[in-house]
A and B are shown apart, each in its own frame.
Chain A
């Protein structure tokens, strides 16, 4: 299972990197999303995929899964939610002001 998920993480990172290197603003934003998904999945996988019950009071199980990586992933997801929405707004404003979403044209001139 770990190997399968590792491959998925690899794919996510590849796609993310590819998107990050593209010229369109929106694709770059989507690239960062893929990368952060990959990182979150990696965090969960690296902590070991366990078969225990959920570490909640209502559940009785023989063994419980390690709650720490889950808590961390949740925090990381919340943060990336906030950051992603901020980047989306920023990309949108940049597009509105500059009337282009091509990063090549957003390079700026030398003498600023």
Chain B
């Protein structure tokens, strides 16, 4: 096998090469899973406690907003959203940080750098699955069998992960040169959190007496559509739905994914020079 390296080499997405490094992906994820809760007293329990604390806080806030709803229904709805949000926000954060946390490996060994964000995403999925299974059990116990719409759930989850991944990958590449990203990201996530139907439902926002353009801005946020689609899978009805919005969301996602990965690949070769 002959390899040729030229200064004029262009970045490209080499899926075959990525596949050759599947073993590495496995061991890096294993490392992250093992190390994540090492030397903590509760251990893996943290992947349940973290969402649980959020549910306690925001479930109660939501009770104040939706006076008509039963307490039980309210917590079931908010919990579903919080668990999904936890997946989205941790994966955006971890994928964004994936290059800087692996800086020492990155500057000493060669392999496709896309391995790092993919690893981070995998670890977040594992974390999510634990709390998700627990939620499903509670759901069955407290409510009923989920509606047939639950079969859309895998699609919604994949779309959500692709969204987080695209945003994260772009931030990861940018953060190599501009450490500012580290400071911007938490604010951005906080804004998205409040501007998505997590504990403030879309119906509530739509019923508010605010100027129309504000509602439009609210709807452009891709996480509104996503969160509503996710809730649809569990509760069989839409808080808010429009086909126009769906098309806009899907186009946004596709664009974001292509642009982010291209941006990442374009700077991949100079990561080791800057990190």
Chains A and B belong together in one complex: no
Tell me the A residues contacting B by CB distance below 8 Å: none
Tell me the B residues contacting A by CB distance below 8 Å: none
